[in-house]
């Protein structure tokens, strides 16, 4: 990839390590339901419970990971959480026959994996401050390449052995931990302890309550993300059963996600134009994302057909491409040393929507099919746009000041 040549070698190595880790992580998550139902012989309700426990662990991990960034230190937090995640994955084949221990371990794995997320994003914001918005987007693309590779391999590996997927996932997590251990140890020797702070800002310690009181930075994008990801559950708990009930082949649903992965690569020039012409700031990109998601659900409601779902996936993917790098970029730009705390907090709030969405929409689908689910998605998308617009209005002057400081 020629565009990677414009980045320093350390960035290229970081992207490669991130791709490998995301590929390993995506080996397992598509197979959890199949593993619980087929291999362990439990019901689909039990499979849903395992996924919910894992998601709950992820929410706690996001919140705690951001709060512990400066107290524990970036190296201990990232390397420790990735190492514990690897140990949990290696233990799965031995623990899985014991149902309650298996559920607890899945929660532990979800927790450890999530603890590292805000720390890694905050570290990127510190280390590459002059190009952080651009690099957040490149990391997002690299992670999606890894997800595409991992999900493509997961089915083949599961045919061989479910345990093999757990072990390979653990290996990639351990490799990522070793990468960060070596990388951050070298930085410590060269530059001293890593902090996340602007050079022109005096360093001061803030308590959790004072951080929570600064609602301008996190509250409205956090609540907006909660609604956004709740609505996005329509793909698994609305579109998927609708395709099956209409007698379409299952590969029609798989095609939607294949298209999602392809668009994330090929539509980068289009999102760059959107950012240049209509959404120059991170706040504007977040708002535009909400509008794209809203447009996707309106298309599903209006066309109520597979071509409509294809068009909706295109719109939703553009929304995903805008919001995923924009939130950590905004927080890194405006929160300074407190960025890890706010990245974890907004990530945890969004994860609540991901956890609640499948359950709420599952009830609606069982009682009325695709349309009640779609109207719920539209309603929560409207709410997400309202909160994103509120966020943009409250931060308008801060964004102007930031643009002028970079211009000078």
Beta-carbon neighbour count of residue 310 at 10 Å?
A: 15
Average pLDDT over residues 135-154: 80
Each residue's pLDDT tens digit, 339-372: 888 999 999 999 899 888 888 888 888 888 889 9
Assess if residue 1 is contained within a domain: no
Does residue 244 share a domain with residue 352?
yes
What does the pLDDT read at residue 44? Answer: 63
Buried b (16+ CB within 10 A) or exposed e, 83-103: bbbbebbbbbbebbeeeeebb
Which of 119, 109, 114, 105 lies closest to 169 in space, CA to CA? 109
Q: What whole-number distance in Å separates Cα of residue 274 and Cα of residue 259?
A: 20
Assess if residue 198 is contained within a domain: no
pLDDT band at 225 (very low <50, low <70, confident <90, very high): very high
Q: What is the residue whose two structure tokens read 């992207």? A: 15
User: Which tops the pLDDT comparison, 251 or 391?
Assistant: 391
User: Which tops the pLDDT comparison, 291 or 354?
Assistant: 291
What does the pLDDT read at residue 101? Answer: 95
pLDDT at residue 336 tops 90: no
Looking at every residue in the chain, the average pLDDT score rounds to 84
Assess if residue 199 is contained within a domain: no
Domain stop point among 135, 165, 191: 191
Domain count, the chain: 2
DSSP 336: G
What does the pLDDT read at residue 357? Answer: 87
Domain that holds residue 116: 8-191
pLDDT band at 205 (very low <50, low <70, confident <90, very high): low
86: tokens are 């690897």
Does residue 158 share a domain with residue 291?
no
CATH number of the domain at 87, please. 1.20.1250.20
Domain stop point among 140, 163, 191: 191
What does the pLDDT read at residue 201? Answer: 45
Assess if residue 101 is contained within a domain: yes
Q: What is the residue whose two structure tokens read 């959890």? A: 32
Does residue 181 share a domain with residue 243?
no
Size of the chain, expressed as the number of residues it contains: 408
Q: What is the residue whose two structure tokens read 């539509």? A: 267
pLDDT band at 384 (very low <50, low <70, confident <90, very high): very high
Average pLDDT over residues 94-114: 91
pLDDT band at 70 (very low <50, low <70, confident <90, very high): confident
- Give residue 281's region: left, alpha or beta (phi > 0; psi -120 to 50): beta
pLDDT at residue 1 tops 60: no
Does residue 243 share a domain with residue 177?
no
What does the pLDDT read at residue 390? Answer: 96
pLDDT at residue 405 tops 60: no
DSSP 305: S
> Radius of gyration over alpha carbons of the chain, in Å?
21
127: tokens are 């280390």
Beta-carbon neighbour count of residue 46 at 10 Å?
A: 16
Average pLDDT over residues 50-65: 88
Q: What is the residue whose two structure tokens read 């026959």? A: 97
pLDDT at residue 212 tops 70: yes
Angle at 298 between CA 296 and CA 300, to 5 degrees: 75
Each residue's pLDDT tens digit, 302-322: 998 899 999 999 999 999 999
Cα 62 from chain centroid (whole Å): 11
pLDDT band at 408 (very low <50, low <70, confident <90, very high): very low
Beta-carbon neighbour count of residue 382 at 10 Å?
A: 14
What does the pLDDT read at residue 203? Answer: 47
Does residue 214 share a domain with residue 184?
no
- DSSP element (H, E) containing 339: helix 339-368
Does residue 380 share a domain with residue 238?
yes
Does residue 239 share a domain with residue 311?
yes
pLDDT band at 400 (very low <50, low <70, confident <90, very high): low
Assess if residue 200 is contained within a domain: no
Does residue 374 share a domain with residue 227?
yes
Q: What whole-number distance in Å separates Cα of residue 233 and Cα of residue 226?
A: 11
pLDDT at residue 95 tops 70: yes
Average pLDDT over residues 266-274: 93
pLDDT at residue 326 tops 80: yes
Assess if residue 2 is contained within a domain: no
What does the pLDDT read at residue 60? Answer: 92
pLDDT at residue 27 tops 50: yes
What does the pLDDT read at residue 402? Answer: 61
Q: In this predicted structure, which of 123-132, 176-185, 312-321, 339-348 has the lowest mean pLDDT?
A: 123-132
Assess if residue 90 is contained within a domain: yes
Does residue 155 share a domain with residue 12?
yes
Does residue 226 share a domain with residue 156?
no
What does the pLDDT read at residue 199? Answer: 42
Does residue 129 share a domain with residue 56?
yes
Q: What whole-number distance in Å separates Cα of residue 45 and Cα of residue 49?
A: 6
pLDDT at residue 246 tops 80: yes
Assess if residue 181 is contained within a domain: yes
User: Which tops the pLDDT comparison, 377 or 35?
Assistant: 377
Report the percent of the chain where pLDDT is more than 90: 36
Q: What whole-number distance in Å separates Cα of residue 403 and Cα of residue 175?
A: 38
Which of 315, 308, 296 lies closest to 231 in space, CA to CA? 296
Q: What whole-number distance in Å separates Cα of residue 317 and Cα of residue 235?
A: 12
Domain stop point among 146, 167, 191: 191
Does residue 140 share a domain with residue 265?
no
DSSP string, 10-73: HHHHHHHHHHHHHHHHHHHGGGHHHIIIIIS---HHHHHHHHHHHHHHHHHHHHHHHHTHHHH-
- Those residues with Cβ within 8 angstroms of residue 137's Cβ, 6 or more apart along the chain or in another chain: 268, 321, 324, 325
pLDDT at residue 271 tops 50: yes
């Amino acid at each position: 990839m020629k565009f990677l040549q414009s980045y320093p070698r350390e960035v290229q190595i970081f992207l490669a390590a991130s791709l490998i880790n995301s590929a390993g992580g995506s080996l397992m998550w598509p197979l959890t339901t199949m593993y619980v139902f087929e291999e362990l012989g439990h019901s689909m309700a039990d499979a849903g419970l395992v996924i919910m426990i894992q998601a709950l662990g992820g929410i706690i991990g996001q919140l705690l990971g951001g709060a512990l960034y400066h107290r524990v230190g970036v190296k201990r937090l990232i390397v420790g959480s990735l190492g514990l995640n690897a140990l949990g994955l290696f233990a799965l084949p031995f623990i899985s026959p014991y149902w309650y221990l298996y559920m607890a371990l899945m929660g532990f794995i979800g927790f450890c994996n999530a603890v590292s997320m805000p720390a890694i994003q905050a570290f990127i914001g510190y280390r590459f401050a002059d190009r952080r918005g651009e690099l957040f987007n490149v990391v997002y693309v690299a992670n999606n390449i890894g997800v595409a590779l991992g999900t493509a391999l997961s089915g083949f590996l599961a045919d061989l052995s479910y345990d093999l997927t757990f072990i390979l996932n653990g290996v990639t997590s351990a490799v990522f931990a070793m990468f960060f251990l070596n990388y951050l140890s070298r930085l410590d020797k060269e530059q001293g302890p890593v902090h996340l702070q602007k050079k022109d800002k005096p360093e001061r310690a803030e308590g959790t309550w004072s951080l929570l009181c600064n609602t301008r930075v996190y509250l409205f994008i956090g609540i907006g993300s909660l609604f956004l990801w709740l609505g996005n559950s329509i793909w698994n708990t609305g579109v998927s059963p609708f395709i099956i009930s209409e007698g379409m082949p299952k590969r029609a649903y798989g095609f939607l996600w294949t298209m999602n992965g392809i668009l994330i690569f090929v539509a980068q020039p289009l999102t760059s134009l959107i950012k240049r012409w209509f959404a120059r700031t991170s706040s504007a990109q977040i708002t535009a994302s909400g509008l794209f998601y809203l447009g996707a659900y309106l298309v599903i409601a209006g066309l109520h057909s597979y071509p409509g779902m294809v068009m909706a996936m295109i719109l939703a993917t553009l929304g995903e491409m805008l919001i995923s790098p924009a939130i950590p970029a905004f927080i890194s730009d405006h929160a300074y040393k407190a960025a890890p705390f706010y990245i974890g907090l907004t990530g945890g709030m969004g994860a609540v929507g991901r956890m609640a969405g499948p359950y709420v929409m599952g009830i609606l689908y069982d009682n009325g099919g695709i349309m009640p689910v779609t109207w719920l998605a539209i309603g929560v998308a409207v709410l997400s746009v309202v909160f994103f617009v509120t966020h943009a209005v409250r931060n308008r002057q801060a964004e102007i000041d930031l643009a002028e400081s970079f211009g000078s």
